[in-house]
Amino acid sequence: MTIADDTEQTPNAFRRWMLLTSVVLATTLYSMTVLIVSVVLPQMQGTLSATPDQISWVMTFNILATAVVTPMTGWLTARFGWRKVMLNGVLGFIVSSLLCGQASSLESLVAYRILQGGFGAPLVPLAQAVILDTFPRRQHGLVTSIYGMGVVVGPIIGPILGGYLSELYNWRFAFYMLAPVGAMAYVGLWVFVNDGGRNEKVRFDWTGFLALSAAICCLQLILDRAERLDWFESSEVILEAAFGAFAFYTFVIYSLIARQPLLNPRHLLDRNYALGLLIVFIYGMLNFTPMVMLPPMLKDLGGYPESVIGTLLGGRGAGAVVGFFLAMWIGKLDPRIGLTLGFSLLAWSGWYMMGFDMNVTQFDVALTSIVQGLAVGILWVPLTIATFATIDPRYLAETMSVFHLLRNIGSSIFISMSVTILIRTSNMNYARFTEFISPFNHLLDYPRNPNTFDISDISGLAAISVELDKQADMIGFLNAFGAFTLASLIAIPLVLLVRKPAKTE
């Protein structure tokens, strides 16, 4: 694929910076919706008279649509060019978001969320490919840092602002608020984005696309439903796993023998790119997991109100902004320094969270949120620079789509793993705790025990059950934070294998 049209005039500095502003707005627009729905799910469930299992499809199908369309970014760019793909993506995203706000039934909302995910999926990888091709290599650290703010900060401010509007009005305004941002992004893209990236000779690999889409859909369905269905005790999960494995096998074999595969495996011969894909997979695992795990812990076990939880998690956004500014300087150094520092900070924050209890203070939560945001901001720039330093600009759109696809898959897999660890270990510890509730345990006769813990009546046993359930859940959260810490440490040896990119003038 050809990323730059030779007939296009090289944009001047003003047009380049205005283009960067426009694509950052488009990226922020899409990334705001990643977690925004999780805040308004209870309201939507009540309005649409849906069960918890049914309302989860609102998130699941959006993730599926995003995962399916993301690998198409390279072909869409080659067939239609930067300008058409980005303009139609933003316009379709705005319209589908407004339709989500107007939805009157669960079926229509799920359909509009599919459209929202499909139209928005190419925006993130294509936006980064455009700015890397438009700006000279010596400015890649700076522009990647600015662009990364939209990727990382959007999922943080989206739930906070969406939760506030849903409390003030209703859940529909969490979707309506996307329209003004989308309108500004559309105008900027219309004015400043050139029509580059075309290559009419590229054919679309339907076999590879259908096989990869089937594998991704099966994986996401397993992650979303397996815990409720008791994993491989369910025939549905077994069928999805078998079909998904066959589809992925088909995709791999076809990619190796096809003349023009959907995703060219020859790019994996580039050492930095192959390592970058592994590292961004771990980066995706660590990026959103604390934002999913901390709110239920703080609300159900710590008794924090939603407004305070949102403010505490907002510290992650503040840390990310500082991290991206630091990355502008760190990006000039060996990328292994920034990557090691970032993953070390994430490991420290995970270790610190492993010391939480039900009396965790606001300072502790705010500190870990800020450190995690700082680490994520520091990581993004050196990770991007190291991964794509030796990639031919002609293949940026294709390789960038795989980069972001693995980031999203890593996030989905690890969130599901963390929830599984939480549920399974909580149940195990609760069962273990109940073995000690007996008239023969003299600790229960301790004079300072509350009167409500009297095992001689039903109300006392119920109070003990509630307390044991909370303690078991707390251990489950700590185990999930332990997995977070381990994943952070695993990334560091991979970082040391990355080659330092050659300096450019």
- Look at residue 226 in the predicted model and tell me its pLDDT: 75
**Residue 306 above 70 pLDDT?**
no
Q: Which residue has the higher pLDDT, 442 or 296?
A: 296
* pLDDT tens digits along 235-253: 888 898 898 899 888 888 8
- By residue count, the chain amounts to 505
Average pLDDT value for residue range 305-323 = 75
Which tokens sit at 358?
Answer: 């039900």
Distance CA 434, CA 89 (A): 54
As a whole number of angstroms, the distance between CA 93 and CA 445 comes to 62
Q: Is the model's pLDDT at 122 over the cut of 50? A: yes
Give 257's pLDDT tier (boundaries 50, 70, 90). Answer: confident
Tell me which residue of 240, 272, 268 sits closest to 255, measured CA to CA. 268
Element (H, E) at 290: helix 289-296
Q: What is the mean pLDDT of residues 438-459?
A: 63
Q: Is the pLDDT of residue 186 over 80?
A: yes
- Give which of 186, 184, 73, 180 is closest to 130, Cα–Cα: 73
Q: Do residues 113 and 60 lie in contact, with contact meaning Cβ atoms separated by under 8 Å?
A: no
Which tokens is 48 given? 């649409």
pLDDT at 197 over 70: no
The token pair at 22 is 């426009």
Looking at per-residue pLDDT, the higher value among 303 and 110 belongs to 110
3-state SS track over 382-400 = HHHHHHHCCCCHHHHHHHH
Lowest-confidence pick of 211-220, 457-466, 479-488 = 457-466
Residues 6+ apart with CB under 8 A from 246: none
Determine the Cα–Cα distance for residues 125 and 399; give it in Å rounded to an integer.
9
Higher-confidence residue of 145 and 306: namely 145
Q: Which residue shows structure tokens 């303009």? A: 87
Tokens of 392: 């031919």
Distance, CA of 6 to chain centre: 35
User: Does 223 have pLDDT greater than 80?
Assistant: no
Mean pLDDT value across the chain: 78
Q: What percent of the chain has pLDDT over 70?
A: 85
SS3 assignment for 12-73 = CHHHHHHHHHHHHHHHHHHHCHHHHHHHHHHHHHHHCCCCHHHHCHHHHHHHHHHHHHHHHH
The 3 state secondary structure assigned to 434-487 is: HCCCCCCCHHHHCCCCCHHHCCCCHHHHHHHHHHHHHHHHHHHHHHHHHHHHHH
More confident residue, 321 or 340: 340
Considering the entire predicted model, what is its pTM? 0.76
pLDDT of res. 1: 40
Percent of the chain with pLDDT over 90: 6
Nearest to 182 by CA among 35, 33, 360, 38: 33
Nearest to 450 by CA among 438, 464, 462: 464
Q: Supply 273's token pair.
A: 């790119």
> Which range has the worst mean pLDDT, 108-117, 316-325, 394-403, 487-496?
394-403
Residue 389 and residue 450: Cα distance in Å, rounded? 64
